[in-house]
């Protein structure tokens, strides 16, 4: 039953799994963003304004775009100096990736705390079977 007391490997494994999920989710959003960038860079007929910026916004004329990588988003810049974000990157990607990274960090801290507690228990245990000094 000693394996039930040692939660460190489980916490480390869950931390790695959570960070892996965050990386996969970020990669999924990055694929969407790069698809929008490729669509915007496609010169040819019907390429002005850039296709990802064609939305139902009336009275707004997009003139340029930029891709932000943290957080992942495709931003259209307008003629009057404003900007707006398109929905090319799914809305769940940024909060989901942040949540998985946060969970992974907390699990890693928990694994470190568990290792510290285990080291303190080992240091307080008697070596020869006799109780230690109580000063």
Task: For residues 123 and 11, give the distance between their C-alpha atoms in angstroms, rounded to a whole number.
Answer: 22
Q: Does residue 4 surpass a pLDDT of 80?
A: no
SS3 64: strand
Predicted confidence (pLDDT) per residue in 30-87, tens digit? 999 999 899 888 766 555 677 778 765 656 778 888 999 999 999 988 888 888 888 8
Whether the CB-CB separation of 52 and 86 falls below 8 Å is answered with: yes
Predicted confidence (pLDDT) per residue in 110-131, tens digit? 999 988 888 888 888 776 666 6
Q: How many CA atoms lie within 13 A of 40 on its CB side?
A: 22
Identify the pLDDT of residue 52: 78
Q: Does residue 132 surpass a pLDDT of 60?
A: no
Identify the pLDDT of residue 1: 47
Q: Provide the whole-model pTM.
A: 0.78
Structure tokens at 53: 């910026």
β-bridge partners, 64: 77
Identify the pLDDT of residue 116: 87
Q: Does residue 6 surpass a pLDDT of 80?
A: no
77 vs 19, residue with greater confidence: 19
Identify the pLDDT of residue 56: 55
Identify the pLDDT of residue 129: 60
Task: For residues 39 and 89, give the distance between their C-alpha atoms in angstroms, rounded to a whole number.
Answer: 13
Predicted confidence (pLDDT) per residue in 98-107, tens digit? 999 999 999 9
């Amino acid at each position: 039953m000693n394996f039930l007391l040692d939660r460190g490997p489980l916490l480390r494994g869950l931390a790695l799994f959570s960070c892996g999920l965050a990386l996969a989710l970020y990669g999924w959003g990055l694929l969407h963003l790069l698809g929008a960038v490729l669509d915007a860079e496609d010169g040819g007929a019907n390429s002005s304004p850039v296709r990802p910026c064609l939305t139902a916004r009336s009275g707004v004329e997009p003139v340029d775009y930029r891709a932000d990588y943290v957080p992942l988003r495709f931003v259209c810049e307008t003629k009057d100096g404003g900007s707006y974000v398109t929905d090319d990157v799914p809305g769940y990607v940024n909060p989901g990736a942040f949540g998985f990274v946060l969970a992974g960090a907390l699990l890693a801290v928990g694994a470190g705390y568990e290792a510290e507690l285990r080291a303190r228990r080992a240091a307080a245990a008697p070596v020869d079977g006799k109780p230690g000094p109580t000063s």
